[in-house]
Amino acid sequence: MAHRGNAAEFPENTLPAFSSALDLGVRFVEFDVQLSKDGVPVVIHDHLLARTTGLPGSVFDHEAAELSRMEAAETQRFGERYRGVRIPLLRDALTVLKGHPEITLFVELKRASLRQFGHDHVVSQVLEVIKPWRTQCVLISFDLVAIHKARALAESPIGWVLGEYDEHTRLKCEALQPQFLFCDHSKLPTAARLWQGPWRWCIYEVASLPLALELAARGADYVETMAVRELSAALRDLSAGQ
């Protein structure tokens, strides 16, 4: 799964990052959604603009039309290489699905927007935009209330991103019965098999083949990475060797 697209080689959460991931053969892409001042879903991880755009302020200070003109070139990482790459609106990001019925997008609802606008508004706005593509989209979040609402309103698959991997969280998972569970590999106990249930596990911040294979042996269904080219090539080489 491509974490914010091919974010190792392109500015994260941008159309070039998504297109590159698909060109590399990835079938699963995760990205983040915040709401603009006028309540339009835009694809960006932080609500603060500084890290990816170099601009002051917050997504919440600007209407969608303004945000869509802002460069998200990540000049701290890439210098001037991606000048002209802009913050995509969610509706524009979804166009990567055209002609790709095999692709699934995991759309993460960010907690900053949920606090700013309320769960009902954020979930309903995002569901409205993804409606034409709903069979290819899964809403995910750290926020339990948000994914409960997404399930109730859309009756579609949901994913919970775990803040902790402990017994209390396990009980919540068994009650929720989500289709997907996401967890940072660094939060997992060493060597233990992942909890079994009706869900599929996606473990993120994975950048190496040995770690991916270890996690697969422990029950992971997917690994999520920004290093899409490197990890995809390693998996292809392994498959060819077999």
Report pLDDT for 88. Answer: 98
Report pLDDT for 26. Answer: 95
User: ∠150-153-154 over CA atoms, to 5°?
Assistant: 80
Domains recognised in the chain with CATH numbers: 2-241 (3.20.20.190)
31 or 154, which is more confident? 31
User: Does the structure show a pLDDT above 80 at 242?
Assistant: no
Question: Can 119 be counted among the known catalytic residues?
Answer: no
Cβ-proximal residues to 185 (8 Å cutoff; 6+ apart), any chain: 203, 204, 205, 206, 211, 215
- 88 CB-side CA count, 13 A: 23
Question: Can 3 be counted among the known catalytic residues?
Answer: yes
Report pLDDT for 241. Answer: 78
Active-site residue among 45, 47, 62, 119? 45
Report pLDDT for 155. Answer: 85
Average confidence (pLDDT) over 115-141: 97
Report pLDDT for 160. Answer: 98
- 117 CB-side CA count, 13 A: 28
Average confidence (pLDDT) over 122-145: 97
Residues 18-77: tens digit of each pLDDT: 999 999 999 999 999 999 999 999 999 999 999 999 999 999 999 999 999 999 999 999
Report pLDDT for 156. Answer: 85
**What is the percent of the chain where pLDDT is above 90?**
94
